[in-house]
Amino acid sequence: MLNKFKNIIYEKRSDGVAIITINRPHRLNAMDPDSGREMWEARRDFALDPKMRVLILTGAGEKAFSTGLDLKAAAERARTLGTVDPGVGQPPSLAPVKDWKPTIAAINGYAVAAGLETALRCDIRIAADHAQFAMMEAKRGLVPETGCTYLPKVVGFGNAMYMLLTGDLINAQEALRWGLVTKVVPLKDLMPTALSIAQSIAANAPLAVEYIKQSLTMRREAPLEQSQQFAELITRVIWATEDVKEGSRAFAEGRPPVFKGR
């Protein structure tokens, strides 16, 4: 546990799972510049710690995962500096270390605007049954950077256009039908579910997990031929690792594997 933060809670568990909680429930976990810097520091620490395997992102309280940019802070910034920093409230994109460790969003309420963009950057999204989702930027005269890029790939072109153009809220069950989230559970089961998934991932071979994420990300973002070439390359790399040999030995010996990440 690192206790130096004011706007987030950063926990590093012995099972290889880290948890970052946006801790501004009085502002529905909206992000201001200080929150963004703290998130950046925590994400960087997670990326560089070889003992950490999976990251869970969530929000404090029962009302919101994050409502994105703190508009009050942005208005004050506009008054004093004459501009608004569009990167504030989107800290996961600021991590200086390329991190291929899996991330899970445990969405405990409103996930709107840049808050939903933060969830979209996660690999797996689990929602409480009262959660609501929206891309409200058009209502504020803004354009969502990540929303326009990732959202159509997650929910499809038509559903993305609906969310982006109307800015209307959709509920958790609608989000589940559209593929925006993987599971919907009661609030009391949200973190236990996210932790169970994270622990299942953390128990697997770390190199294999990271290469799978790289391969799928490449397949989503790169041309088919290029992504296929990358998949073939990492398959050859994985077959040469000690973890592959350990996985085979453990299966043959009827015991859990002990992976070393090499």
To the query of whether residue 76 is one of the catalytic residues in this protein, the response is: no
Q: Bigger pLDDT: 261 or 66?
A: 66
Q: How confident is the model at residue 30 (pLDDT cuts 50, 70, 90)?
A: very high
pTM exceeds 0.85 for this model: no
Query: Could you tell me if residue 260 is inside a domain?
Result: no
- Lowest-confidence segment of 27-41, 72-86, 119-133, 246-260 by average pLDDT: 72-86
Please give the tally of structural domains in the chain: 2
* Catalytic hit among 117, 221, 225, 232: 117
Query: Could you tell me if residue 218 is inside a domain?
Result: yes
219 and 103 in a common domain:
no
Q: Are 132 and 171 in contact, with CB atoms under 8 Å apart?
A: yes
To the query of whether residue 117 is one of the catalytic residues in this protein, the response is: yes
Of residues 99, 96, 90, 97, the one with CA closest to residue 54:
99
Q: Bigger pLDDT: 242 or 170?
A: 170
193 and 180 in a common domain:
yes
Domain that holds residue 162: 8-202
* Catalytic hit among 41, 62, 137, 225: 137
Tell me: the pLDDT tens digits for 83-133?
555 444 444 444 445 689 999 999 999 999 989 999 999 999 999 999 999
Query: Could you tell me if residue 259 is inside a domain?
Result: no
Q: CATH number of the domain at 149, please.
A: 3.90.226.10
